[in-house]
Amino acid sequence: MLKKIIIITIILNFFTSYVNAYIGPGVGGGAIMAILGFIVALLGVIIGLFWFPIKRLLKKNKKEKQKK
C-alpha cells in the first residue's frame, strides 16, 4: 500500500502544471505572527511551569538560611 502511494506521488509530481494565483503580503505576515505567537506561548508555559516554582524554592531556602 505504501509503495503504491509513493509511486502515485512521484508520477503526479512529473505531471504538474503552472497555477496563476496571487497570495497577498498579508498571508506571509499572518504566518510569521502565528509562528511568533506559538513560540511566545511556549516560552510562557516553560517559564510558568519551571522558573516560578524554582524561584519560589530558592527564596524559601534563602529565608531558612537567614533564620539560622
In degrees and rounded to multiples of 5, residue 15 shows phi and psi of: -110, 45
Per residue in 6-41, pLDDT (tens digit) is 999 999 888 877 777 777 778 888 889 999 999 999
State pLDDT tens for residues 45-56. Answer: 988 898 888 888
Q: What are the residue ranges of helices labelled H in the chain?
A: 2-14, 25-46, 52-67
pLDDT of residue 68: 64
Q: pLDDT tier at 64 (50, 70, 90 boundaries)?
A: confident
Residue with grid cell 509513493, as numbered in its chain: 6
DSSP 49: I
pTM exceeding the 0.75 threshold for the entire prediction: no
Whole-angstrom distance, CA of residue 57 vs CA of residue 68? 17
17 vs 43: which has the higher pLDDT: 43
Q: For residue 34, what pLDDT is reported?
A: 95
- Which residues does 1 contact at the CB level (< 8 Å), separation at least 6? none
